[in-house]
Chain A
Amino acid sequence: DTAVSQTPKYLVTQMGNDKSIKCEQNLGHDTMYWYKQDSKKFLKIMFSYNNKELIINETVPNRFSPKSPDKAHLNLHINSLELGDSAVYFCASSQPGGVAFFGQGTRLTVV
């Protein structure tokens, strides 16, 4: 009965490849997010979607493209992966103005 689930948990890939991370929430929330956590544990928001519409798009390279097929899913596609993209990516969901619930994270390693 995982509330926010993301797959895969680990992803190791070569530079230049394209990869996707999937996220699903079963909480009935209207808002979903992608956060990036670097090696120093700093958490920064990348995107926020409300009812499938993009609300927040922080300064993120356009190689990163979120896709929300419905309000329970927010996937993250990354083109032309670079070494600096290595990080842990977290999906989260909330009701607007409410507490965000996070997935377990996807550790992306670009080699």
Chain B
Amino acid sequence: GESVGLHLPTLSVQEGDNSIINCAYSNSASDYFIWYKQESGKGPQFIIDIRSNMDKRQGQRVTVLLNKTVKHLSLQIAATQPGDSAVYFCAENTDNYGQNFVFGPGTRLSVLP
């Protein structure tokens, strides 16, 4: 089933610290996952993706970890900066055609000075 959030979880971190944002996905058959960042007043922007044949993928300052056993995805942001403040969403591809992405409830990241 789809995950429905009753409220938006918030993570507050000090500037310069590492951030870890977690996501539990719903469909064990999902084979493709994407992390998006949404800044205030803007649409979601792609950060990093991972396919189910991988456990880890690294980008610039970001790392995504996938644990298929417990259907868990995490996004690690190194040396968090004020510009990282946003809402972060994980999205899972739930069909074979790559056309239905189900979004998680989102996590608001606040970077403290």
Q: Contact at A101–B97, with CB atoms within 8 Å?
A: no
Q: Is the CB of A100 within 8 A of B101?
A: yes
Chain A positions 32 through 46: 1 when the CB is less than 8 Å from some CB of chain B, otherwise 0: 010100001111110
A40 and B97 within 8 A (CB): no
Q: Which residues of B from 7 to 46 have beta carbons under 8 Å from A?
A: 7-8, 32, 34, 36, 38, 41-46
Query: Which residue of the partner chain, among B6, B99, B106, contacts A31 with CB atoms under 8 Å?
Result: B99
* Chain A residues in 8 Å Cβ range of B7: 40
Which of B2, B8, B43, B45 is the most central at the interface, judged by chain A CB atoms within 10 Å of its CB?
Answer: B43
CB distance from B15 to the nearest CB of A (A): 23
Which of A12-20, A48-56, A61-69, A73-81 contacts the other chain? A48-56
Q: Please name the residue on chain B nearest to A30 by beta carbon.
A: B99
Determine if A55 and B8 form an interchain contact, defined as CB atoms under 8 angstroms apart.
no
CB–CB A42/B45 < 8 A:
no
A interface list, Cβ under 8 A from B: 4, 31, 33, 35, 40-45, 48, 50, 55-56, 90, 92, 94, 96-105
B positions within 8 Å CB-CB of A: 2, 4-8, 32, 34, 36, 38, 41-46, 49, 87, 89, 93, 97-103, 105-106
